Structure 1
Amino acid sequence: MEDRFLSGKKVAILGIAANIILLLLKLTAGYASDSQAMIADGFNSLGDVFASTVTLLGSIYAAKPKDAEHVWGHGKAEYIASMIIGFSMIVMAVYTAVGSVESLAAGEKLEFSWWLVAIAAATIVTKLSLYCYCIGKSRQYNSVLIKANAQDHRNDVFVTSGTLAAIFLSFAGWYFMDGAIGIAISVWIVYSGVMIILESARVLMDAGMDRDTLEQYRKEVLQIEGIDHVDSLNTKPVGAKAILVVKISVDRDMTVIKSHEIGKKVEDELLACHPELDDVIVHINPDLPHDLEKMEFRKK
């Protein structure tokens, strides 16, 4: 986990430095040539600076150890930070969309410049490199925050490609395409922001793991000697990991000590085999008659 949070910090610092440079280049070139697509792309880079800053702060806070008020740690800070990134992308998208609409309404013309082409090409190369680096780290550590940052870089590759297309189309006399692509860029940013928000909200709203994963846990629990059946299995996300709450039934005449040993074995074996679990809470019931739904978990 320490490596995970350290990686998040490195990704954020690298993103901040790269995006500040791109921001200055894009806005300078965009306003000089009156390119709404490049200006929209520039403000997107401003949003990227903010996103990388939020990634940095989220990684720092999520890395804080458990304390009396946060007994499960501060891991959900990653998802709060990801949600903030999503909302910031939407705000920037609305701003740039308004500017693009005004450009279309006024019939503004883009002044072609190879300077614009060079900046767009440099942006694509830079962002593609950042995306490859970040997506690799997000998969390595299963980090939604680094993934959000990676998606932001990936979006910029498509966004700037659109800007580059607008530059060449204006050279051919299709000036209206500059504003049109600026609007398209804004729509893409909104979509990406919404998807990041939904993914983060799923964890913040304590959505559990999928049924296939729970079924795998159930099968492993039933392999432990002394368990008659599993009454229920539920998970609760706590940042990058999850808590598993499992209720099992054992022989009603079993001693408390023996049932405790079985419960401890369930906890130890699941934690040893599943690094995605932060803790396993085992509740033990006596083997009494159950309804049909719970009987589905009985050993065959």
Structure 2
Amino acid sequence: MYKIYKFDEIKNELVKLHEIDPNFIDDKNGDYFCIKDEDEIIGYALVKKIENNYLLERMFVKEGLRYKSNGTKILKFVVNHGRGKRINKIICNNKDIENFLKKYGFKECNGHLELDNIQCVNQRVTEGKKVVMSSIIQNIFLAILKITGGIFGSSRALISDGVNSLSDVGSSIAIYLGIYFSNQPADEEHPYGHEKIESIIGNMMGLFLLITAFELVKGSVMLLISGKFEATPSYITILWAAISMVVKFFMYRYKMRVGIETDNSALIADAKDSKSDVYSSGGVIIGILLSIWISPVFDIIVSIIVGILIFKEGVSIILETSNIILDKQDDEFIEKIENYIEKNTPVKNVHDVYMRKSGDKIFLSLHIRVPKDMTVYNAHNLADGIRESLILDFENIKDVMIHVDYLID
């Protein structure tokens, strides 16, 4: 658990702190960023705010616990808190921890160490935009390749696959806009931010796939009924479909990796669409071969199958993104939250834990029970400590609302 203390608030702990750290600094003007284990302080960082910077005066972790990432956790606590306070840099003159700070990213500057630009660029936005732009360019290339190859190679299945790639261009543009707008800061009208736009874009993409699939199947079925399918595809069309398979496979891997790393539901949905495109291009190759070796009707049948696969993926995307919009609860995640609070705080009764997901961010609300004779001040401090700890140890948690109940005798 993590907690920030003023000197007056930490007075009762002074004897213990001097015992674990003989060089403990009594500073009435500083803030003590503490990490606790079962209500015992095991490490701290003494920090002073100077204009828009933090001065890290001392940092200490109890002996025997220094190689369990506790120092890194404390420093991360200071950095994250600094971001919330619009701190520009953290400065440290303590040479005893020079090597540790350098590993974290501190640089030597004018005889001291400093970590600047802690208001870092949102890596999630940068990576997401890069992936989507790459997807747009590649899908334009594949759409032109397959539609042109399908027309000159007399393959309706390849043309259908090309139209699918063209629809991917539209969905990728929608995702790009979603990434941009979803990362606009919260405002008075949208206090929870704009991240849900990603899920809305994911839903729109799913609907777009359904419409595309319907038109492809409809056209192929009409052609099948008419019986006008005498043209036999050429062998060169197999090459275009094979190129599409390879490109789409690597697009799927790339999008899924970044989508999972950044927890972007729209990007994950787009990755799944690229995966279905790999199968559809494989089906196109089989259909073309059967059309050449047996009958041109197989080219039409495969184009229908491609349409059905696109339709299925569209339904899957809509269901998945709708669960986020409808705030479906993640029981496993909620259980982790309950266990974390009960293990790391004096609270042993956590209940009514609910989550609301918006993009990659999670908003939590929960109830805790405290002794009925606990003062409002202490209950408030306890709740603040739980909130700070959850936000720090669970990267995707953006905010926590805690209601305090009293224990019934």
Which structure carries more relative contact order (alpha carbon 8 Å, separation 6+)?
Answer: 1
Q: Find the aligned partners of 1:200 and 1:231 in 2 and give their Cα distance.
A: 27
Find the residue that maps to 2:255 and give its secondary structure: helix
Contact 1:36 1:99 in 2 (8 A): no
Within the alignment, does 1:21 sit opposite 2:141 as a pair?
A: yes
Partner of 2:297 in structure 1?
176
Change in Cα spacing, 1:269 to 1:242, as seen in structure 2 (3 Å) is same
Change in Cα spacing, 1:225 to 1:172, as seen in structure 2 (3 Å) is closer
User: Within 5 Å, which residues of 2 pair with 1:92-241?
Assistant: 92-107=212-227, 108-210=229-331, 212-241=332-361
Partner of 1:91 in structure 2?
211
Q: Find the aligned partners of 2:160 and 2:344 in 1 and give their Cα distance.
A: 59
Give the CA RMSD over aligned residues: 1.6
Partner of 1:297 in structure 2?
none
C-alpha displacement at 1:131, in angstroms?
Answer: 1.2
Partner of 1:62 in structure 2?
182
Letter in 2 for 1:184: I
- TM-score (norm: length of structure 2): 0.68
Q: Unpaired runs of 5+ in structure 2?
A: 1-120
| 1:61-117 residue CA offsets vs partner (Å, 9 max, x unmatched) | 112112222212111111111111111111000000011112222330332313312
Contact 1:138 1:144 in 2 (8 A): yes
Letter in 2 for 1:187: I
Aligned residue pairs total 288
Find the residue that maps to 2:356 and give its secondary structure: strand
Find the residue that maps to 1:65 and give its secondary structure: coil
Q: Find the aligned partners of 2:315 and 2:125 in 1 and give their Cα distance.
A: 24
Within the alignment, does 1:270 sit opposite 2:390 as a pair?
A: yes
Find the residue that maps to 1:244 and give its secondary structure: strand
Q: Find the aligned partners of 1:77 and 1:195 in 2 and give their Cα distance.
A: 18
Q: Which has the larger radius of gyration?
A: 2
Q: Find the aligned partners of 1:272 and 1:288 in 2 and give their Cα distance.
A: 31
Moved more, 127-136 or 101-110: 101-110
Letter in 2 for 1:177: F
Letter in 1 for 2:230: K
Q: Find the aligned partners of 1:66 and 1:101 in 2 and give their Cα distance.
A: 49
Contact 1:34 1:109 in 2 (8 A): no
Q: Find the aligned partners of 2:160 and 2:259 in 1 and give their Cα distance.
A: 27
C-alpha displacement at 1:41, in angstroms?
Answer: 0.7
Q: Find the aligned partners of 2:335 and 2:321 in 1 and give their Cα distance.
A: 24
| 1:142-197 residue CA offsets vs partner (Å, 9 max, x unmatched) | 22111111112111111111111111111102221111111111111111011100
Contact 1:249 1:285 in 2 (8 A): yes
Q: Find the aligned partners of 2:158 and 2:343 in 1 and give their Cα distance.
A: 61
Find the residue that maps to 1:227 and give its secondary structure: coil
Change in Cα spacing, 1:227 to 1:173, as seen in structure 2 (3 Å) is closer
Contact 1:227 1:248 in 2 (8 A): yes
C-alpha displacement at 1:214, in angstroms?
Answer: 1.3
Change in Cα spacing, 1:226 to 1:130, as seen in structure 2 (3 Å) is closer
Find the residue that maps to 2:364 and give its secondary structure: strand
- TM-score (norm: length of structure 1): 0.91
Change in Cα spacing, 1:103 to 1:233, as seen in structure 2 (3 Å) is same
Within the alignment, does 1:10 sit opposite 2:130 as a pair?
A: yes
Q: Unpaired runs of 5+ in structure 1?
A: 290-300
Contact 1:23 1:45 in 2 (8 A): yes
Q: Which has the higher strand share?
A: 2
Contact 2:207 2:314 in 1 (8 A): yes
Q: Find the aligned partners of 1:228 and 1:155 in 2 and give their Cα distance.
A: 47
Contact 1:62 1:77 in 2 (8 A): yes
C-alpha displacement at 1:225, in angstroms?
Answer: 4.5
Moved more, 188-197 or 20-29: 20-29
Moved more, 138-147 or 80-89: 138-147
